[in-house]
Chains A and B, each alone.
Chain A
Amino acid sequence: MMAAGLGTTIQRTRMGTNMIRRSGSILLAASLIAACSGLAQAPAKSGGVIAITGGKLLTVSHGVIENGVLLIKDGKISAVGESGKVDVPKDATIVDARGMTVYPGLIEPDTTLGLTEVGSDENSNDLAERSDEIMPHMHVADAFHAETELIPVARLNGITNAMVAPGEDDSVAGQDIFIQLAGRSRDAMILGRDIGLSVNYGADQRRRGGRGKSEYPSTRMGLITQLRQSLLDAQHYEAARDAAVKKPEKTGDKGSDKGEKPVAERDLKLEALLPYLHGQKPVVIGVSEGYDIETIMKVAQEFHLKVILNHVTHSQEVLDEIAAWKVPVIVGSIYDFPKANERFDAVYTLPAELAKRGVKIAISSAEAGGPGGAHGVRNLPYAAGFAVAYGLPYEDGLKAITLNVAEMYGFGDKLGSLDVGKMANVVLANGDPLDVRTDVKQVYIEGVAQPMVSRQTVLRDEYSKP
């Protein structure tokens, strides 16, 4: 479980300094090192099979199996079925899951996990580059802190995967990653880099406006014009680049060496937009108000972007339009505040209203105000449960934090349900995963039983001693 070099990890995080200040306990520090690493327990010996037997399987893709068996081999799910109908190998490691619920690892669709440690400590935050509104060349992969203490905390509640995006200060904030909440290093944890482009539109990006400020862009008109110009610039950049490659310059032009093609100067910013202009990857658009949604969707359609809508907390008047666009939607925060003229449940009912119209939805753990954010990812299942309380069918609620999210980001064949061949990200809990009272007992990631330990459990155990 421990590896050389973890001491360095501890110093990089907040913990080292705090430990010295607070307890000075070498024993505690040692156990914290074990707890906080992203390292998992050694996998079952190669070829070994884990058999989770007798549990209630929530497959997500094909219903509920009340008394089921799930086999894990080589990090993948190798069988799923009713007890008695699945051959359990004689040498399998049996995990008795009677009385337990077994379900796929939960997937957070939008978080800053790995980009922040202590909210108020700027040095521990790498959320958004605010020097310009258009920052497509920012790569979350470059800032992702794999050893963050926040990951084991989220993992303990059954969150096994997440999409990590920059903060929302910029119109184009940067490119997202899709992570596994376990692994020996950053590279092992990042399942996909630059999987989507985070775009934001609304009042919050108008930072150059306001009292005593008058820089461009300071209005929604400015933000949209700036964005549209950037997309046009990227198209022009590509066309010019391609033309330069196809048509070698004539000898003597621009003083280049005889007979050689000029090397076009790369523009990383514009280049970063190209895969999205080609519709190869999704653009995740954070936008809340109905009229803002209509505005930004006009731009998206003009440039044929592949869209995932995010937030949409005040979209009640455009629900039918959203359905007609056939774009997936991340609802978050379901706890966003209704306006002064709205009923208390105007936002709580949003997932149900979208699902009713056939929209593919994901739900994020975001809260309304408060620290929330990456520290609150462990509350993801409760946000889905809240949507169920306000009318979303239970199956859709579970899908909104598993299979739907996997599919949105291109991992639908690998994650999000209990199906043969998928990565064995599996959770065992003592009840309904969406209920706040439920306790997660074991989390498997790629078939490896994760230590059910975080910095917080270590503190709990230390101070529980008589």
Chain B
Amino acid sequence: MTLFRVVLPGFVLLSTSILFGQSAPAADLVLKNATVMTASHGTIEHGAVWVHAGKIAGVGATVSAPANAQVIDATGKWVTPGIIDPHSHSALSNDVNEATSPVTPSMMMIDAFDNRDKALYQALAGGVTTELLLHGSANMIGGQAVVIKNKFGLSRDAMLFPNAPRSIKFASGENPKRVYGSRDQLPSTRMGNFEVMRQSFENAKAYMASWDAYNAKLAKKDDSAVAPKKDLKLEALADVLRGKLYVQIHCYRADEFLTEEAIAHEYGYKIRAFHHALEMYKVADQIAPENTAIATFSDWWGYKDEAWDAIPWNAVMSMRKGVKVALKSDSNDHIRRLNQEAGKMVHYGGATEDEAIRMVTLNPAWIIGVDDRVGSIDVGKDADLVIWNVDPLSTYARAEKVFIDGDLFFDLAAPGFGTPHFSGAMHDGGGFGNDDSENEDGD
């Protein structure tokens, strides 16, 4: 009996693997003879990448992998780090905005994450391995993001990026003022927008003070100490002030970048990135010293007033002035071809290919706070890799194989969906583009 109990699970596991064509990733894998765009230290012609136990163990003209390593000859092909999208609303069950109050910092996007949404698969087929799934832009202070690895086919929890920093979404400008203004509520103007923020942080400071007082009494063993009420909303805002949350702000206009930075200074937190940031080119020299990055569109413009001064040179102009620049999708459409959005930066402003690929790999990794683990092909980093048929910045690029933690999650040559870890039915969580297109509260 005892033996049976031990053996049975092993047998079941084995047969399941055979059934779905799964197999554990090889302990050692070498991609060789490829043009390797490392994103951190240039491009290696006829280069090789050695993957050991899900991590990058070597990269260069040659690597010293063991003889029994699985070898993929990538002659004529290109290898890049997995594409990283720092602004997506995919796979959130159409629950992007808790648009019932302009301040909802305790909303957790993980609670809406649907790991079987087809948008994840379609992004995977475009080489996307990591996504920051954000709350929408209806609220001045929205909810907390979830960071995923696009291991399509695995369970919900197995798709979470382990120990990723927490991010919170803020917004500004037209969306909050439209959403609440249309209900005759505060805020309905940019003045109202920012006042809502300031008041929120005043509340958080009072909340923190009440806890500080309580803890001080406890420390003195004062019997009269009564614990204040734990408040999820204020707790989240306090975490912003404590520097425990990366602040990601939906913001379009030059003046608003300046206001946001001023408020951040006033209350003592840092802004990790401005998202959209279509007018950053106007004030990039002022923002660069703040060490705030941007996650921007390549060339979307004109869909609303605050996108009217958008120019496709924004990304490269801002980069040249010292701002860290990432491109992002904010769209189930563009997330499938972020590599080409990067390619446009060669056209608009003359980015080098290294600079362009960094905008969809290492720089978005920094915005999410996982650049020590993904975003470039460096020894010790997670083996999140894409093999492309041609230069990934070209119109003609197709992702042929996508590895995450050294495991193959998409294979263009495989039958059906091309997903070694997935078979069955996907969900359709509704496809939407970006702000104001199909989601009237704004994404």
Contact = CB atoms under 8 A, between A and B. Distances in A.
Contacts of B312: 456
Interface string A189-210: 0000000000000000000000
A344 B120 CA distance: 10
Interface residues of B, number: 54
A239 interface: no
B246 interface: no
Contacts of B313: 456, 460
Given A120-B436, A340-B426, A367-B333, A436 B343 contact: yes
Contacts of A119: 302-304, 436
Interface string B330-341: 011110110010
B331 A369 contact: yes
Chain B contact residues: helix, strand, loop or mixed: loop
Interface stretch (B48-56, B185-193, B388-396): B388-396
Interface centre among B337, B395, B426 (most CB of A within 10 A): B395
B333 A340 contact: no
Given A337-B431, A369-B438, A389-B396, A436 B347 contact: yes
A155 interface: no
B282 interface: yes
Given A371-B302, A435-B395, A341 B426 contact: yes
A385 interface: yes
Given A337-B332, A369-B438, A463 B393 contact: no
Nearest to B439: A369
Given A343-B418, A389-B396, A150 B302 contact: yes
Contacts of A370: 300, 303, 331, 333-334, 433-434, 437
A343 B417 contact: yes
B195 interface: no
Contacts of A436: 340, 343-344, 346-347, 393-395
Interface string A94-106: 0000000000000
B281 interface: yes
B434 A117 contact: no
B114 to A, nearest CB: 12
A344 B427 CA distance: 14
A388 B337 CA distance: 15
A345 interface: yes
A401 interface: no
Nearest to A375: B302
Interface in A343-387: 343-345, 367-372, 375-376, 378-379, 382, 385-386
Given A340-B425, A344-B417, A389-B396, A120 B434 contact: no
Interface centre among A338, A370, A371, A434 (most CB of B within 10 A): A370
B344 A437 contact: yes
A118 B334 CA distance: 21
B308 A340 contact: no
A62 interface: no
Contacts of B344: 436-437
Interface string A63-86: 000000000000000000000000
A437 B309 contact: no
A120 B334 CA distance: 21
Interface in B345-400: 346-347, 393-398
Contact of B308 (A14, A388, A390, A437): A14
Contacts of A22: 309
B397 A389 contact: yes
B425 to A, nearest CB: 7
A153 B434 CA distance: 21
Contacts of B332: 337, 368-369
A344 B417 CA distance: 7
A428 to B, nearest CB: 15
Nearest to A389: B396
B416 interface: yes
B93 interface: no
A153 B396 CA distance: 24
Given A367-B433, A369-B431, A460 B343 contact: no
Chain A contact residues: helix, strand, loop or mixed: loop
B269 interface: no
A340 B434 CA distance: 20
A108 to B, nearest CB: 16
Contacts of B126: 344
A389 B395 contact: yes
A4 to B, nearest CB: 26
B426 A378 contact: no
B432 A460 contact: no
Contacts of A464: 317
Contacts of A341: 425-426
Contacts of A178: none
B203 to A, nearest CB: 32
B200 interface: no
B122 interface: yes
A459 B331 contact: no
B317 A460 contact: yes
A367 B307 CA distance: 18
B290 to A, nearest CB: 18
B301 A382 contact: no
A388 to B, nearest CB: 6
B303 A371 contact: yes
Nearest to A459: B311
Given A120-B436, A372-B433, A335 B333 contact: yes
B285 to A, nearest CB: 10
A437 B333 contact: no
A425 B308 CA distance: 29
B305 interface: yes
Contacts of B87: none
B310 to A, nearest CB: 8
A369 B432 contact: yes
B118 interface: yes
A320 B436 CA distance: 38
B333 A118 contact: no
21 contacts: A118-B308, A120-B436, A121-B304, A335-B337, A340-B426, A343-B417, A344-B122, A344-B125, A367-B433, A369-B433, A369-B437, A370-B437, A371-B437, A378-B299, A389-B396, A389-B397, A435-B396, A436-B347, A437-B394, A460-B313, A463-B317
The 6 closest A-B pairs by CB, nearest first: A369-B433, A370-B433, A385-B395, A371-B303, A119-B303, A344-B125
Interface of A: 14, 18, 22, 117-121, 149-150, 153, 335, 337-341, 343-345, 367-372, 375-376, 378-379, 382, 385-386, 388-390, 432, 434-439, 456-457, 459-460, 463-464
Given A340-B426, A369-B437, A378-B299, 15 more contacts: A118-B308, A119-B302, A119-B303, A120-B174, A120-B304, A337-B122, A339-B428, A340-B428, A344-B126, A371-B303, A382-B395, A435-B343, A435-B395, A456-B311, A459-B281
